[in-house]
Amino acid sequence: MKQFVSGRRLAGIATAALIALAPASARAQDFINVLTGGTSGVYYPLGVALSKIYGDKIKNVRPTVQATKASVENLQLLQQGKGEIAFTLGDSLAAAWAGDEEAGFKTPLKKLRGITAIYPNYIQIVASKDSGIKTLADLKGKRLSVGAPRSGTELNARAVLTAAGMSYKDLSKVEYLPFAESVELMKNRQLDATLQSAGLGVASLRDLATSVEIVVVEVPAAAVEKAGPPFVKAAIPANTYTGQTTAVPAAAVMNYLVTHEGMKEETVYEMTKAIYENLGDLGAAHAAARSIKLEGALEGMPIPLHPGAVRYFKEKGLKVGS
Indicate left, alpha or beta for 3 from its phi (over 0: left) and psi (-120 to 50: alpha).
Answer: alpha
Residue 187 vs residue 229, higher pLDDT: 187
Q: What's residue 315's pLDDT?
A: 97
Q: Write the single-letter amino acid at 212.
A: V
Give the pLDDT confidence of 264-310 residue by residue, as tens digits.
999 999 999 999 999 999 999 999 999 999 999 998 899 999 999 99
DSSP code at position 305? B
How far apart (Å, rounded) are the C-alpha atoms in residues 47 and 33? 10
pLDDT at 28 (0 to 100): 60
What is the structure's pLDDT at 255? 94
Query: Quick check: bond before 230 cis, omega within 30?
Result: yes
Average pLDDT of the segment spanning 316-322: 84
- Cα–Cα separations (whole angstroms), residue 244 to 185, 206, 210, 230, 233: 21, 11, 11, 27, 19
pTM (predicted TM-score): 0.78
Mean pLDDT on 12-31 = 51
The reported pLDDT for the residue numbered 12 is 46
CB-based contacts of 313-321 (< 8 A; 24+ apart in sequence): 313/272, 316/276, 318/294
Per-residue pLDDT tens digits for 186-228: 999 999 999 999 989 999 999 999 999 999 999 999 999 999 8
Interval 158-162 mean pLDDT: 95
**Cβ 145 vs Cβ 173: under 8 Å:** no
**Does position 34 have pLDDT exceeding 50, yes or no?**
yes
The arithmetic mean of pLDDT across residues 16-41, rounded, is: 68
What separation in angstroms does the CA of 59 have from each of 4, 28, 32, 81, 290?
39, 11, 12, 22, 26
Residue-range domains of the chain with CATH: 28-119+255-315 (3.40.190.10), 121-253 (3.40.190.10)
Average pLDDT of the residues in 170-195: 96
Contact 209, 244 (CB under 8 A): yes
d(CA 196, CA 189): 18
Residue 13 scores a pLDDT above 60:
no
- Out of 6-20, 42-56, 81-95, 280-294, which region has the weakest mean confidence (pLDDT)? 6-20
From 223, 183, 186, select the one nearest 206 (Cα to Cα).
Answer: 183
Mean pLDDT for the stretch of residues 79-108 = 95
If one compares 128 and 104, the residue with the highest pLDDT of the two is 128
* Amino acid identity, position 205: L
Half-sphere exposure of 17 (CA within 13 A, CB side): 6
pLDDT band at 31; cut points 50, 70, 90:
very high
Choose the weakest-confidence range: 15-24, 200-209, 311-320. Answer: 15-24
| Chain mean pLDDT for the chain | 91
DSSP 216-234: EEP--HHHHHHH-TT-EEE
Residue 15 neighbours by CB under 8 Å, 6+ apart: none
Beta strands, E only, 129-262? 143-145, 173-175, 193-198, 214-217, 232-236, 248-260
Q: Is 286 helix (H, G, I), strand (E, B) or coil?
A: coil
pLDDT of residue 21: 45
pLDDT at residue 7 tops 60: no
Task: Name residues whose C-beta falls within 8 Å of residue 61's C-beta, 6 or more positions apart in sequence.
Answer: 29, 30, 31, 32, 54, 55, 267
pLDDT band of residue 105 (cuts 50, 70, 90) is: very high
155-159 long-range contacts, CB within 8 A, separation 24+:
155/71, 155/72, 155/89, 155/91, 155/92, 155/95, 155/103, 156/89, 156/91, 156/121, 156/123, 156/195, 156/197, 156/251, 156/253, 157/123, 157/195, 157/197, 159/91, 159/227, 159/231
- Residue 124 binned pLDDT confidence (cut-offs 50, 70, 90): very high
